Structure 1
Amino acid sequence: MSSARRSRPRAVRGILRGDRSTLGSIAERARSLATLQRRLQAALPARLRGHWQLAGVDEEAVVLVAEGPVWASQLRYHQRALLEAAARATGHRPTRCRISVEPPRLARKREPRELTASARDNLREAAAATDNPQLRSALLRLASRSRHEDS
C-alpha cells in the first residue's frame, strides 16, 4: 500500500465541507436551502411554520412542498411575499411559485407479533432450566405474553 493511501482518518465535517466532494456539494446545497427556507419563513405568518418545506429555487421558480391541501392553499395566498423574499435572498426574482402537496409520512403501525404456544413452552422450559433468577423471571414474563391457552 502506498503512503498516499495510508492517510489518517478524516473527520466527516471536513469531508462534508470539502468543496471537491460530491457529498460536500450536496451538504452545501442542503445548508443553503435551509437558510433560504428560514428567510422565506420570515415573510410568512407564523401559523404556516412547520407545514411546508422548500424543495428548490432557481431563476424561474420557488418550489415548495406543503403537507396538505389546506396548507398549500394558504401558501398560495402568500406567493407574492414568497417571491419577493426569494428575490431579496438570492438576488434574482423567480417568476412563479410552484406548490405541491405531499402529506407527512406516517410510520406504519405494526401488528403485535404473536407468541406461539410452542415458543411459550420453550421459554418456560428454559426458565425452569436456568439457575439465574433474573433470567428466569425475564423468560417467564416473555412466556406470559402468549395469547394461547395453557396446555
Structure 2
Amino acid sequence: MRAPRTYLDPTMLEQARRLEAMTQSVRTLLPPGLRDHCWVGNIKEGVLILVTDSGTWAHQLRYMQREILKQMKAYHGISARSVKIRVRPVMQAFTPRPGKPLPPLNEEAREALSRAADSVGDPELRQTLRRFSTQG
C-alpha cells in the first residue's frame, strides 16, 4: 500500500506548506485571542488573502493590514499590495442530543417488519428488518 502523501500533487503540497509557514508568521503579530482564528488562504495577483471565522476577528485584522504586509515581505519575500479578508465560519461537528426513548413497537408493526424482511432480497437488509421486528 502506498503512503497517502504519494497520491498528492507535490506542487500542491509545497503550496500548502508555504501557506502554513505564512500563517504561523502572521500569527506572531496577532494578539493571543485572534491567533487561532486567522490563517493565510492564498496570495493571488498581489493580494494576500486572510481567512477568519468571524466578522469580529475580521474587523481587528483590518487594523493590522499594514504590519502584516510588512511581515510577509520581510520574512517570505512576498510583495503583496493589499490584504483581502474573508470570513468563513467554522462548521461545528454534529452531536446528536439524547432524546426520549422510542415507544415499543406494537404487534402490527412487528408483523409488518417481519413480512418486509421475508420479501427483501438483500441479506443485510433482511437481517436488519428481522432484528427490528423482534425489538421491544
Matches within 5 A, 1:1-151: 9-13=1-5, 15=6, 23-110=9-96, 112=99, 114-118=101-105
Shift of the 72–117 alpha-carbon distance from structure 1 to 2, 3 Å rule, reads same
- For 1:12 and 1:101, locate their aligned partners in 2 and report how far apart those are by CA, in whole Å: 31
- Cα deviations across residues 45-66 of structure 1 (Å, max 9, x unaligned)? 2221111121111451110111
- For 1:67 and 1:113, locate their aligned partners in 2 and report how far apart those are by CA, in whole Å: 34
Three-state SS of the structure 2 residue aligned to 1:25 is helix
Shift of the 88–113 alpha-carbon distance from structure 1 to 2, 3 Å rule, reads farther
Shift of the 24–113 alpha-carbon distance from structure 1 to 2, 3 Å rule, reads farther
- The TM-score normalised by the length of structure 1 is 0.60
Q: Is contact 2:27–2:38 with CA below 8 Å preserved after alignment?
A: no
Three-state SS of the structure 2 residue aligned to 1:118 is coil
Shift of the 114–71 alpha-carbon distance from structure 1 to 2, 3 Å rule, reads same
Shift of the 116–50 alpha-carbon distance from structure 1 to 2, 3 Å rule, reads same
- Cα deviations across residues 22-81 of structure 1 (Å, max 9, x unaligned)? 533222211111111111111222221111121111451110111111100000110011
* Alignment root-mean-square deviation, CA: 3.1
- For 1:115 and 1:27, locate their aligned partners in 2 and report how far apart those are by CA, in whole Å: 49
Three-state SS of the structure 1 residue aligned to 2:61 is helix
Q: Is contact 1:59–1:92 with CA below 8 Å preserved after alignment?
A: no
- For 2:95 and 2:40, locate their aligned partners in 1 and report how far apart those are by CA, in whole Å: 29
- The TM-score normalised by the length of structure 2 is 0.66
